[in-house]
Amino acid sequence: MFFLLIKKSFFDAWDNLGALILGNFSFFLVLMAGLWPMFRILESGNSMGFIFIVILIPILGITLGMVSSLQSKVADYKRPAWSDLPETFKSTWKISLVYSVSVALFFGISSFGITFYIGMKNMAGLTAVALLFWLCFGVYLLSLWFFPVRNRLSGNFRSLLKKSALIMLDNMGLTLFAGLIMVPLQFFLWPLTAFGAFGPAGILLYQAGTMRLLMLKYDWLEENPESKKRDVPWYELLIDEKELVGKRTLKGMIFPWKE
């Protein structure tokens, strides 16, 4: 499954490079439109900079939800269209707003807590810092699954958080690979492509593809409730997916008319 996932993510990104670039450009535009004036105001000692933060976080969250929903369509071998934007916004903005504000509050409070406990300069403070660090790391890993789960499964915010946590724990290898390797790698490559390919949209596309393949497993387990995870027939489940992904050559990808 893992190698098929990498292959699928690359081909999906290549076939929908325009959608990937537009997704990344939307993130870049929001960041530049908000961060530049915010830093300028904070440099002057004006508290108005914090108002920009309050405004920027929800906008980024809503953008994240919309791009994630569109990348989920890409993972399903569909091409996003401009006409999809209104419906995508309508179906994602509320949950995206709740998610972004919740995550921002959690990490904001945690950062103050870590700073406070470091200042204690004793073993109790060090223990509290360690606990907060691992809690933040766990929330970071869980956040990688929230939008892919939301795009595939139903439920309210609390229910989606629970499902995200269960999928994270049930697929810890994929979770750690995404959190420790895929996310840093994509953000490292993002500026090297003039903030076009890779980046946030690339991460969302990879996670959307991961969730699509995992749903094959969970659908099979639902149909076979007495079976265990080790019994999942991945070879049979991935036959259709392998055909959809297909085989490519470098020449065919760059010069498809010559194939």
In the chain (259 residues long), the average pLDDT of successive 10-residue segments reads 90 91 90 71 63 80 95 94 93 94 92 91 92 96 96 93 96 96 94 88 96 95 89 92 81 55
pLDDT in the model for residue 195: 84
User: What region does 227 belong to: left with phi over 0, alpha with psi -120 to 50, or beta?
Assistant: beta
Please report the sign of the dihedral spanned by the C-alpha atoms of residue 155, residue 158, residue 162, residue 168: positive
Q: What is the pLDDT of residue 209?
A: 96
Hey, what amino acid is at 138?
G
Q: Are 229 and 167 in contact (CB under 8 A)?
A: no
What pLDDT is attached to residue 53? 73
Task: State the amino acid at position 232 in one-letter form.
Answer: V
Q: What value does the CA radius of gyration of the chain take, rounded to a whole number of Å?
A: 20
| All structural domains of the chain with their residue ranges | 2-254
Alpha carbons within 13 A on the beta-carbon side of 123 = 0
The per-residue pLDDT for 5 is: 93
- CB-based contact 211:151 (threshold 8 Å): yes
Structure confidence at residue 49 (pLDDT): 61
